[in-house]
């Protein structure tokens, strides 16, 4: 059953969409499947017409996109995982990424499919990061 997202809910884009970079006049395409946070809900009467979604685009870069109700879905069974992808070359810098997955194994599988199995992933979710070591 499709649940209506509210402000501060984490949602996933169902379509590729342009996002306005925050603090920059440029736009960047956010791929379908990218998680973001609802920052505003636009209503037409009692129906949701559109959402303003903030997407983390890596590093200190964020983008804002307007999506219709049919172009987003609330994350229910999936959680947001953060990772640092390291290329196996001596001069490569780590790439910070986020992925939506059911569990840690699913997140790792998705990252390997996108970035290759020869890369090293530093992978965690919010609860893991807050746990005492």
- 102-122: per-residue pLDDT in tens? 778 888 888 888 888 877 677
Name the DSSP letter for residue 19. E
Q: Are 60 and 84 contained in the same domain?
A: no
Q: Where in the sequence is the domain holding 99, given as residue range(s)? A: 79-130
Domain-located, residue 86: yes
Q: Are 44 and 91 contained in the same domain?
A: no
Number of domains in the chain: 2
Domain-located, residue 126: yes
Read off the pLDDT of residues 71-107 as tens digits, 9 standing for 90 and up: 887 655 567 778 888 877 777 778 888 777 777 888 8
Domain-located, residue 3: no
Q: Are 62 and 87 contained in the same domain?
A: no
| Sign of the CA dihedral with 15 first, then 119, 59, and 107 last | positive
Say how far residue 107 (Cα) sits from the centre of its chain.
12
The whole model's pTM is what? 0.54
Q: What are phi and psi of 105, to 5 degrees?
A: -65, -45
């Amino acid at each position: 059953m499709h649940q209506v997202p509210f402000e501060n809910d984490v949602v996933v884009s169902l379509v590729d969409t342009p996002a306005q970079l925050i603090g920059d006049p440029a736009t960047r395409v956010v791929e379908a499947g990218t998680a973001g946070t609802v920052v505003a809900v636009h209503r037409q009467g009692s129906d949701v017409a559109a959402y303003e979604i903030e997407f983390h685009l890596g590093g200190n870069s964020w983008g804002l996109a307007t999506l219709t109700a049919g172009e987003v879905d609330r994350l229910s069974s999936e959680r947001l995982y953060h990772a640092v992808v390291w290329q196996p070359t001596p001069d490569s810098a780590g790439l910070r990424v986020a992925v939506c997955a059911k569990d840690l194994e699913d997140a790792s599988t998705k990252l390997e499919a996108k970035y290759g199995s020869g890369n090293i992933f530093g992978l965690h979710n919010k609860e893991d990061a807050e746990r005492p070591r």
